[in-house]
Structure formats: C-alpha cells, structure tokens
C-alpha cells in the first residue's frame, strides 16, 4: 500500500446545480449505449465511480445542455480508456489496439455508418449530436496515437524516459481538447496567435500535467505495474531514479504541486502582460480572464471528484475471458457487447 500525499489546490471547487439531472442522464445514456451490460462495466461500478458528477464539478457554470453533451463525452472516454487498460495494455495486444483505433477513426470520418460495438455506438451518437471541428479531430487523433504508444511500451515492457512519458501523457488525456471544453465559446473570442503563444501553451501543459500525474499517483494500485502496466508516472520515476516506491510517489506528487504553483503564478502574473502584448480589446480581456477561470474551476472540481470517486478502488475483473471477438472486417480485437 502506498500513502497518497496531499495535493495543493489554491482554487475553490463548485458544483453545478444541474448535477442530479446530469447524473441521471449520463447513466441512462451509458446504459442505452450498452456500457453497463457487465462486459466491461457494471451499473454498480458506474455508481461507485460516480462518473456523472465529474462534469458538474469541472464545469460548474455551464448550462444543462452543454453539461449533458460534455458529460457523455467524458463517460465515453473513460469507457474507451478501460478498453485499452483491460483489453490491450495488459494483453500486450498492439494489433488489436490498432484495429480498434482504425474503427474509431472510421466512425469519426463517417458517424452515420453502421456501428458494431459499444465504443463505436457511443462515439457515433456523440458526433451525431455535436460534430467534431478540426481542432477536436486533431486532439482525438493525438489521443489515439498516444494510447497506441502506451500499448507498444507495455507490449515490449519498456518503461519510458520521464520526459518522453510526460509529453505523451498530456496527449492520453487530450489536454488541448479538455482545455477547449473548459473554455467553451470563450476560446473563439481570443486571437489564435495568443493561444499559440508559448506562455499560454505552458499554462495548458501545466493544466495537463496536474491532471494526468495526479491520476497516476491516486490510481497507482489500480493502473500500476502490479496490474501489468509500465506506463504510470510513479513507476516511470521509480525506474529512472531507482528509488523506493513511496519516494517515487512523493516525487510525482511534489511535481504535481510544483506544476500547480506554476499554473497559479502564470495565471496571476502573465495574463495582463499578454493582454497588452496582443493588444486585446475589453471583450477579449474578459474572455481571456474567463478562459483561465474555467481552467481553475476544472482543476478544483477534478481534484474534488478524484477525492470522492470510486474510480480508483479495486476493480472487478471484466466478465469476458477475452477482448478479441471479431464482428466484421477491420474490427478484430474490438470490445463488443
């Protein structure tokens, strides 16, 4: 057992008043898509994880319609992550993972085509309701590439270098897409050259590192080397520095807290300078401030959810003996109902 250190959080978490409606909708949606049939998730596990409360905590000011769509996207992403964890990482099945990604990209290209799996059905439904723009498509492509990178690392038993790992880990949580979801339409009011500025990108990178590295600490026993996974920040640090487990846990937690301090300092000190540098008008200055406030709300809400969720508790073994059940051309190794 490892002792989980405390994490600094200078921002206050809030909960959307729509939380009950979002919880109810997202569970019903997950059930309708087939996610709760016991193949990978059960209803008991879904309730234990309380996936439906994540978005109301991370996006406390959004309206109900936006919360519902974003919540379903997160539920789908967690389901896909568990397909990779339980079907491809542990099985070291790179070929199956590639086939899965091929199908996901096919659905992204044509969501109206017939779907044969739970993951395909969920993605097609999401895209029918809200088509991807070019930036979100690029983020999902990077996400799937990063997941394949993790499958390959686990397949060959290669513990990544810490620098390579952190850069890739940002992609496995689709950090850019998450930041845009947090900002909503505000981001469209800001000049693209500002968003591409190195200071703004560093802010998003810190946002990503806080979220992903903290999850690796809290989820070490659920998603660590004892379950067959080498791509966990704690394990990467322990392997690189050849140190004791608790020392590695503390080092990663210290890095999370350092990144939080960097994020908070940059958010407070750099924004006025950037606003002047890019000659933002009053509306754009308000949008920039609101964008960063949305990222703060996400970080605070995500930490509260992490502290309350059963996502990282002992996980029941999926009921299927194998995730390799072909259902058609190009779908070998895709998890099906």
Domain limits, the chain = 19-308
Q: What is the pLDDT of residues 68-113, one digit of tens each?
A: 999 999 999 999 999 999 889 988 999 999 999 999 999 999 999 9
Q: What is the pLDDT of residue 281?
A: 96
What are the residues whose beta carbons fall under 8 Å from the beta carbon of 317, sequence distance 6 or more? none
Q: Among 128, 135, 98, 101, which Cα is nearest to 113's? A: 128
Confidence of residue 322 (pLDDT cuts 50, 70, 90): very low
Please report the pLDDT score of residue 335 as a whole number. Answer: 33
pLDDT bucket at 319, cuts 50 / 70 / 90: very low
Q: Is residue 60 packed enough to be buried (19+ CB in 10 Å), middle (13-18) or exposed (0-12)?
A: buried
Q: Which CATH number fits domain 19-308: 1.10.600.10, 1.10.3720.10, 1.10.620.20, 3.10.20.30?
A: 1.10.600.10
Report pLDDT for 90: 87
How much of the chain, in percent, has pLDDT values that exceed 90?
Answer: 79
pLDDT for res 176: 77
Lowest-confidence pick of 71-75, 76-80, 204-208, 325-329: 325-329
pLDDT band at 315 (very low <50, low <70, confident <90, very high): low
pLDDT, residue 67, reads 94
Q: What pLDDT, on a 0 to 100 scale, did the predictor assign at position 132?
A: 86
Is pLDDT at 125 greater than 70 in this prediction?
yes
φ and ψ at 227, to 5 degrees? -100, 10
pLDDT-derived band at 241, boundaries 50, 70, 90: very high
Residue 316: per-residue pLDDT: 53
- Rounded CA-CA distance 46/127 in Å is 23
> In this model, does residue 121 exceed pLDDT 50?
yes
Q: Cα 222 vs. chain centroid, distance in angstroms?
A: 16
Global pTM reads 0.90
Does 149 score more than 90 pLDDT?
yes
Confidence at 337, pLDDT banded by 50, 70, 90: very low
Q: Which among 77, 54, 89, 82 has a CA at the least distance from the CA of 136?
A: 77
Q: What is the pLDDT of residue 185?
A: 78
Pick the closest to residue 87 from 17, 143, 155 (CA basis). Answer: 155
25, 311 contact by CB (below 8 A): no
Label residue 325 by pLDDT band (50, 70, 90). very low
């Amino acid at each position: 057992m490892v002792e989980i250190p405390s994490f600094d959080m200078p921002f206050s978490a809030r909960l959307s008043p729509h939380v009950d409606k979002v919880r109810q909708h997202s569970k019903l949606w997950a059930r309708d898509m087939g996610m709760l049939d016991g193949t990978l998730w059960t209803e008991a596990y879904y309730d234990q994880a309380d996936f439906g409360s994540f978005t109301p905590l991370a996006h406390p000011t959004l309206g109900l319609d936006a919360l519902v769509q974003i919540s379903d996207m997160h539920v789908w992403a967690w389901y896909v992550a568990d397909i990779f964890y339980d079907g491809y990482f542990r099985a070291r099945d790179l070929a199956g993972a590639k086939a899965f990604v091929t199908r996901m990209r096919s659905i992204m290209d044509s969501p109206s085509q017939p779907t044969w799996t739970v993951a395909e059905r969920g993605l097609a439904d999401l895209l029918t309701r809200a088509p991807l723009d070019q930036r979100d498509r690029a983020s999902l492509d990077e996400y799937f590439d990063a997941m394949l990178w993790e499958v390959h690392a686990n397949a060959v038993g290669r513990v990544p270098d810490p620098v390579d790992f952190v850069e890739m880990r940002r992609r496995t949580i689709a950090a850019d897409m998450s930041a845009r979801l947090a900002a909503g339409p505000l981001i469209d009011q800001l000049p693209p050259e500002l968003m591409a500025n190195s200071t703004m990108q560093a802010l998003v990178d810190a946002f990503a590192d806080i979220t992903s590295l903290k999850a690796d600490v809290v989820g070490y026993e659920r998603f660590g080397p004892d379950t067959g996974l080498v791509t966990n920040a704690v394990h990467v640090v322990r392997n690189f520095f050849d140190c004791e487990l608790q020392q590695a846990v503390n080092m990663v937690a210290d890095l999370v807290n350092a990144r939080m301090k960097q994020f908070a300092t940059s958010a407070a000190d750099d924004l006025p300078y950037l606003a002047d540098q890019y000659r933002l008008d009053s509306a754009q200055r308000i949008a920039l401030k609101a964008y960063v406030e949305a990222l703060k709300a996400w970080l605070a809400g995500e930490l509260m959810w992490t502290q309350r969720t059963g996502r990282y508790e002992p996980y029941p073994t999926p009921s299927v003996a194998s995730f390799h059940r072909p259902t058609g051309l190009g779908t070998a190794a895709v998890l099906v109902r």
